[in-house]
Structure formats: structure tokens, C-alpha cells
A and B are shown apart, each in its own frame.
Chain A
Amino acid sequence: MLTTLLIAVPLAGALAVWVLPVSRESTSGLALLAILAELGLWLGSARNFDFGSDLQQYSASHTWFEELGISYAVGLYGFQYWLVGLTIVVGACAIGYGAWAGRDRARAYFGLQLFLVGSLVGVFAAQDLILFYVAFEAMLIPLYVLIGVWGGAGRAKATMTFVLYTMVGSLLMLAAIIAFGISQGTFLLAEIGTSTNEWVFLGFLAAFAVKAPLLPFHGWLRAAYTEAPPEVAALLSGVVSKAAVFGLVWIVLPHFPEPVEDFRELVLVLAAATLVYGLVLAFRQPDARGVIAYSSMGQMGLIVLGIFATNDLGLDGAILHSVSHGLVSAGLFLVAGMIEVRAGTGVFSELGGFAKGRPLLATIVMALGMFTLAVPGSANFAGEFAILAGVFAHGWGYAAVGAGAIVLAALYALRLISGLLHERRGTSVRDEPDDLAGNELALVVPLVATLAVLSAWPAAISERSFPADTPAEFIGAQSVPEVVP
């Protein structure tokens, strides 16, 4: 019931924002109210959440379409709870950013943002393949319009490539879902069992490889992350890409054990290549958002390494890193947006010297930069370390590549910091000391504070993601369908 509420509150908020004829200010207020109510609901649900139990929490299940064995089934395990939380926190900051930036056509804009949050929660809470697909596709609708209408100058091409890549992946996944579900007579994840069909496996993998994205499927990334409004880019890189994490952890690993075994090397190589490629390109980008975009791609490669390690360390690390990377990249995109508002550009050659007279901005950028380069002691370091330790079990080469790539992370993060804050003052940087104002701080400080808490206590997530903190065993147990009385 509570999970259903978590999905329904943003959707109801979206409907209210669309339908109620109120002014722009009231619209953004209404949207903020809805997302804060959602946040409260999520925080409140932690009280009775049993992270150690191997039962789904707050689950609900209703038959939806009996002939095809489709159900409305939702419920949360620990890792889903954290991904839902990531969605809500980043969503709240993104909606706040939209209110701060004063987006025009406010009713449509805030309605779509809330709709996006609702469908993302649906993705992370789904326990039925069709429901998962429905939510997975539903988030395309708001993303398409948010980028296509409120995006930058090159938005038409950006939306086109984004939709093209995503839809090809999704339709392959749909074909896989149909073949898998109909042959098993159910789409319920708890009952569907396993498949050895490599084509079905590849169908799922294609959708998630586009979403993450992994190396040869990343063609949409640069344009989408750069042309989208900053807060939408924050949601894209912070949360939407994590739909791939969820799909790999909760659909691919448990239900395709044999194909995972057969294709493990291939996926690990692709993931490692994505990591190196992303981080190298991040270092070469001429603008702030390009750096964040490619760094995000690289980090997704790292997370996939952890997932396909399929052991306790790798999986725990992947979930922890998903959350901390989601918070960092969302924060960076929002700050990049605030800098673009001030300077009118995000290109390094026209920026620099932003630290002067803007201590708060400099502190925030510095802090986010440190999390990005994963200084020891940060939550990101904890996640990366666990992932590398996990993947070491499948060959020291992957761990070596990963460790080497982290040095690259330091390079691009430092370049980002110095390019924005230090060096000579850029031509587009104005004299007046326009430091972050209170309402801007309210958007990014929560992200940084959450990261600080996670840095002090990474076990909050890593020990509470899977029942009894035995991810590999738990995932393996999902291969055996529950006995239906």
C-alpha cells in the first residue's frame, strides 16, 4: 500500500498541477509541496522497514490482466528503497531548481517533472515485468518533452537521438519480455523462474546497456546531457541511468544465471572500456557539463563492473556507488546550471576565477569535486573500493583497469575545479560577487550533506541493501520461483 502511495503521490501531484488553474508561483509551490510530501512519506516509511528480512516490504499485488498473467505488483527490498530515495531526493532538488530558474509554461513543466518522478519510483518498485516496462517507457514521455521544449539550442537533435537509442533498446526488451513471460505463463518476477535463452537475455541487456550507457551504446549521451535543462540532466544522469542498475541487479542477474555466466567476460570488458573511455573523454571536454556527462558515463561503467562481479562486495558496492554517484552528478549538474545562469556559458575557456568573492559556491564545487574523485573517506571511495575488490575475484586485470581509471577521475575532477574556480578570470565572469543565495544553497546543500552522512556511515546503505547482507546468495535464491499455494 505504501509503495503504491509512493508512486501515486507524484502522479496525483502532476495531475493537480496540470488541472488546477493557478499562477506560476502557486504552481511551483504546489509541485514542491507534492515532492516534499513524497519525501516525508519515504522518510517515514524507514521506521517500519525491515532491512534484514528476506520478505518484500510494503508489497502489494493485484491481478491486472489475467489472460496474459500480468499483475500490478510492487514492493521494496533494501536496495530498491535506496534507489527510490535517490529518486525522491534528486527529484526534489530538480523541482526546486525549476522553481528557482522560473521555467516558463510552469504548469506543463512541473507536471512533467512530477510525472517523471512518479514513473521512476514505479521503475524501482516494480515486481512485475510488464509493470516495469510500463514505468520504464512512461518516463520517456516526460523526458522527451522536458528536453525537447525546455532544452538548449540543439534540443531537437538531442531528443531525436535520445528517443531513437532508447526506443530501440526498449523494443528489444519488450520482445524479450513477451517471449520470456508468455513462455512462463506469468510476468511476476517472484514466479517467473529462470531462462537459458541467450536472445532473451540479450534483449534485456540491450535496453540496459543503452540506458546506462555502456560503450558502444552511448551515442545519445553527450547531446542529451548538454542540451537538457540542468535539472533534467541531473535527473537523467543521477537517477534515470540507475534504472539500468535496477534492471541488471533485479531482472538480469537472478533470472538469467547461465547467460550471465556465459557473457560475463564480454560485459565486464565493455564496462571496463566504458569506464576508461568515459573518464578519458571527461578529461578532454571543453565545458563543465561535458565533463560531468562523460564522468557519469564512466562511473556507470564502474557500477556495471560491480554488478557483473556477482559477489557480495561487488553488489553492495554497486548499490552504494549508484546512490552516491547519483547524488554527486545531480549536484554537479545543478551547480553547473547555476554557473551557466551567472556566466551565460559553461565553456572553460570563458570561465575561471569563480572562487573570487564567491566562497559558498567555491566550497560547494570543491566538495562535490572531492566526492567525484572519490577521496579516501568519501562514500564514493567506499563504493569504488568495494566494487574493485569485488571484481578482483574475476581477474586482477579488471581491478587494475578500474584502479587506474580512478587516477583519471582525479585528473578530470581537478580540471573541473580549477577550470571553474581558479586560473585566470574568464571573459564571461562578471565582477559583482554573485555568490550562491539562500534558495540556491537549499537546493545543493542537502545533496552534499547526504553525501557527508553517507561518507561517515556508508554501512547505512551497504549493509542494508540486501536481506541479511548476503547479496549474492539472495540474488541466487531468486532463480527458484516461490511456491504458489
Chain B
Amino acid sequence: MIETPKVDWLALSPTLALLGLAAVTLLGAVIVPRSVQRLFSVGVSVGGFVTSAVLAGVVYERSPDGTPLIAESMTRDRLGALAAIVIALSGVAVVLASAGDRRRDHVGEYYALLAAAGAGMVFFVSASNLMTLFLALEWFSISLYVLCSLDTHRRESLESGLKYLIVGSFGSGILLFGCALVYGATGELGFTSIQQATGADDPLFVTGLALILAGLGFKVSAAPFHMWTPDVYQGAPTTVTAFMAAATKVAAVVVTYRLLVTAFPEQSEIWTTAVAVLAVASLAIGNLAAIAQRDVKRMLAYSSVSHAGFLLIAVVANSQDGGAALLYYLVPYVAASVGAFAVVASRERELERPVSLAALEGLGWERPFLGVALWAFVLSMAGFPLTGGFFGKLFVFSAAYDAGYWWLVVAGVLATALSLAYYLTIIRALYMRQSQVTGTVIAAGGSPPRDLLLNGAVGAALAVTIGSFVLVQPLVDLAKDAAASLPF
């Protein structure tokens, strides 16, 4: 009789529920008649993401202490659970925002892949072993490669999928190489075992750490590993971009934080410097490049690079407060990103062409709700008061200041000032220019039908963006409890 390891099904349940419903959606693509396929796919995938979020909530509630599972291949703790909740909820918003698009083929596949990618990320954030880490990374990445190129009739979409595939595989290769070197130096794969292993002063080991950092840098889209981001974000279907900007960023940055803090605390002097360099580079390149953009998706892509910089500042702080700041920052960031891309998606469907700044002109007056919402999202990204982005930046800066990185605070404040230059151009387009675009479009096609699901998603994102400012304390308490899962 072979002894089987005890499996904690509850810890796996957020992943399994989402993966299972992804499979149901995929099956539906074949079985369910075309006329109700959209309804079926949206319903099942929303159900999957909601179930996953609820189960992750249960896991959060029941795991005040972290416990390693299945031979230390994953960890059941609050950090992973909270990240899973954020990922799953952003998935819900993305599915709702997608429901109104005019996709004719691959309807079932689209939602199934979205749910599968979400399941991969939910698993990814709990990984505590280099093998499961890589497995989960490939799991959601492959889903995203396909999603990016799903609009097969658009060349940009195909291009984006191909670029993401090539650059993403390259990043994965580097990550895998790094894992191999670390394994070679220590003979261990689990995060805590690596920390306890003896071979740590081996040059191989440090090289491995550097390569792992670079590999994760691709997924976080931190400069200088960001070069795929603008092209892929611009070309991919907008709702997929929303999911990548929100959920992928959460997953990648949380795992980076977990890995560095649990596996490499002894080497913190090396990696804090390296991450600080990545952070400053992301802030500089992301903000400077964004100023020059005229395409809104591209601009938001560079903005997401700059946000990677802010998030990495929280990682550099290498403290409990840094972790809490990181997790809190993600909440308004995710809401604003999903919301902003949803508004862009809505405009894209209305005009049936890519959304440049000129295409946003007058949106604030024509669609008051979407206009005000986009305004709030942009202000939140800029860290302006009355939005959660303000406290997010403040918390990150304070964690960095406490850890002695006052120069990172200075860099962050300068980057914030710089970022206003392009965020304000969006607001100016919304309200201060007369539309030169819509006149003809409305005459040709009439006012587009109301997309209640998309508006609902935008409304929820708006509520989170403002709510995370007003009710900052409850959220920070959650984030602190989650950050306490890691050893300091």
C-alpha cells in the first residue's frame, strides 16, 4: 500500500473551481447552441470567478497561520488568499466588460481561456516551490498567448500574440535557467528549503537569483524587461489587456515578493539593490515613454510599467509594512486599470476603430458616466487625493522611507509629477475638446445600445477606486494580516 500525501482540498479549491468551470465553458463551446452560447459562457465564467473569490475568502478566513502543503509545493496562507481574491474579482469585472463585445467566433473559447488563465494565476500566488512556480507561470502564460491572438481577423491581435509568445517564452526560459542554477547550488526547490540550504555563497546561486529576478521582471513588465508590454497591450483584445494589466500584474508582483522574502532573505542586500534599480528604471521609462503616446491603450501600457515601478518600491522596503503597502496598492490599481480599459473597450466598440486620444474627445459630455469614471480612474493612477491611488502611493512611500530608502521616495514623487503630464491629456481630451470623431459615427450607426454589464463593471471599479480611499483602514487591516504570513 503506497501512502498518499494528504491533500488540503480547501486550499486548492479556488483553483480547482475556476479550472473546472473553465472546462465546463469549453465544453459548452461545442455542445451549447450558438444562440445561447454567449449567455452560457458569460454566466459560467462569472460563476467560476465568483466561486473562486468566495472560496479564497474562506481560505483567508481559516488560515491565520501559513501552512505548507503537499511536500512544500504550495502554501496555504493569507497572502496567497488575498491575492487570489483580487485576481478573481478582477476576472469577474473583465468577463462582465467582455460580455457586450461583438465577437462572432471563439466565444466559448474566449471565456474558457480567461477562466483557465485566472485559475493559473490563483495557483501561482500560492506556489512555494520553484517547480510549481514555473508550472503555474506557464499555465497562465499559455492561456494568455492564445487570448492575445484570439481576434484572428485583426493583424494587430495576431502580432500581439506572437510577440507575447516569443518574448514571454524567452522570459520563461531565463526563469527556468535561474531555477536550475539555484537548484544546482542548493539541491532544493522549496522556498524555505532554499533559504535553509548551505550552498548559498556559491556564485551559481547568485547568478540563479539574478536570472529568476529577470524572468519575473518580464511578467511584472518592469523596465528593462517591459519592451513587449506596449505592443502586446495595444494589439490584444482590449478586455484581455485589462485582464493582463490587472491580474497578471497582481500575480507576478505578489509571487516576486513571496519568493524574494521567503527564499532569499539572506541575500536581501543583493536583491533590494537590484529591485530598486528595476523600480527606478520602470518609473523613468514608463512615465517618459507614456508622455509621447497618442494611442490610449499604449499610454496605459506604459503607465502600467510605471506602476510596476511603484509596486517594486514596496518590495524593496523588504518589511511587513512594505508587504501591506504592496497589497493595498494593488486594490485601487487593479480597479482603475480594469475600469479604464473597460471604458476604452466601450469606446472601441462604439467607434469600431482603435482608441486614440482624439477618439476620446468629447466622451466626457457624450457618456457622462463613463467620462466621470475614466476621470476618477486616471486620477487614481496619478495618485491624486479622493482616490485610493493616493493612499496607495503614500503607504508605499512611507514603507520605503521607514526602510531608509528616502531616495526612492524622491524618485516616486518626481515620477508622480511627471505622470500628470500624460494623465491630464486624457482628462483634457474627455472634457476640453470638442469631438471631431463621433459626429459622423453617430450619424452612420446611431447611438450604441447601452451595455449594462460593462457599465456595471465600470461602476464597481469606480466604487472600489473611491471606496478604497474612504475606507482605507479596513482594507489595510486585511493587507496587514496577509503580509504577516511571511517571515520577517
* Partner-B contacts on A (CB < 8 A): 18, 63-68, 105, 108, 130, 133-135, 137-138, 141, 144-145, 148-149, 155-156, 159, 163, 167-168, 171, 174-175, 178-179, 182
Contacts and interface: CB of A to CB of B under 8 A. Distances in A.
Interface stretch (B18-26, B416-424, B437-445): B416-424
B413 interface: yes
A168 B418 CA distance: 10
Contacts of B428: 148, 156
B420 A63 contact: no
A171 B385 contact: no
26 contacts: A18-B372, A65-B472, A67-B398, A67-B476, A67-B480, A68-B394, A68-B395, A105-B365, A108-B368, A134-B386, A137-B384, A137-B385, A138-B385, A141-B379, A144-B427, A145-B431, A145-B432, A148-B428, A149-B432, A156-B432, A167-B417, A167-B420, A175-B409, A175-B413, A178-B397, A182-B402
A144 B431 CA distance: 11
Contacts of B432: 145, 148-149, 155-156, 159
B77 interface: no
Given A138-B386, A182-B398, A66 B473 contact: yes
Contact of B473 (A63, A108, A141): A63
Report which residue of B324, B402, B431 has the largest number of chain A beta carbons within 10 angstroms of its beta carbon.
B431
A148 B472 contact: no
A141 B424 CA distance: 11
Report which residue of B324, B372, B410, B472 has the largest number of chain A beta carbons within 10 angstroms of its beta carbon.
B472
Contacts of A67: 321, 324, 395, 398, 476, 480
A68 B390 contact: no
Given A133-B385, A138-B385, A156-B432, A174 B398 contact: no
B431 A149 contact: yes
* Interface magnitude class on chain B: 20 to 34
Given A63-B473, A178-B394, A178-B401, 16 more contacts: A65-B391, A65-B473, A66-B473, A68-B398, A108-B368, A141-B379, A145-B427, A145-B431, A148-B432, A156-B432, A168-B417, A171-B413, A171-B417, A178-B398, A179-B401, A179-B406
A18 B371 CA distance: 13
A1 to B, nearest CB: 18
Contacts of B379: 141
Interface of B: 321, 324, 365, 368, 372, 379, 384-386, 390-391, 394-395, 397-398, 401-402, 406, 409-410, 413, 416-417, 420, 424, 427-428, 431-432, 472-473, 476, 480
A174 B365 CA distance: 32
B190 to A, nearest CB: 32
A178 B412 CA distance: 12
A466 B406 CA distance: 38
A148 B429 CA distance: 11
A478 B131 CA distance: 60
A353 B395 CA distance: 60
Contacts of B397: 178
- The SS class assigned to the B binding surface is helix
B426 to A, nearest CB: 13
Contacts of A156: 428, 432
A272 B260 CA distance: 57
A343 B424 CA distance: 35
A163 B427 CA distance: 13
- 4 A-B pairs closest in CB distance: A134-B385, A137-B385, A148-B432, A65-B472
Contacts of A144: 424, 427
Contacts of B391: 65
A178 B402 CA distance: 11
A64 B398 contact: no
Nearest to A62: B473
Given A64-B472, A67-B476, A182-B398, A134 B417 contact: no
A133 B480 CA distance: 25
B410 A175 contact: yes
A133 B413 CA distance: 15
Given A68-B394, A163-B424, A182-B398, A148 B431 contact: yes
B442 to A, nearest CB: 19
Contacts of B416: 171
Nearest to B402: A182
B258 to A, nearest CB: 21
A141 B379 CA distance: 9
A63 B365 CA distance: 38
Contacts of B324: 67
A133 B386 CA distance: 11
A413 B48 CA distance: 72
A141 B391 CA distance: 17
Contacts of A66: 473, 476
A238 B221 CA distance: 47
B473 A64 contact: yes
A167 B394 CA distance: 16
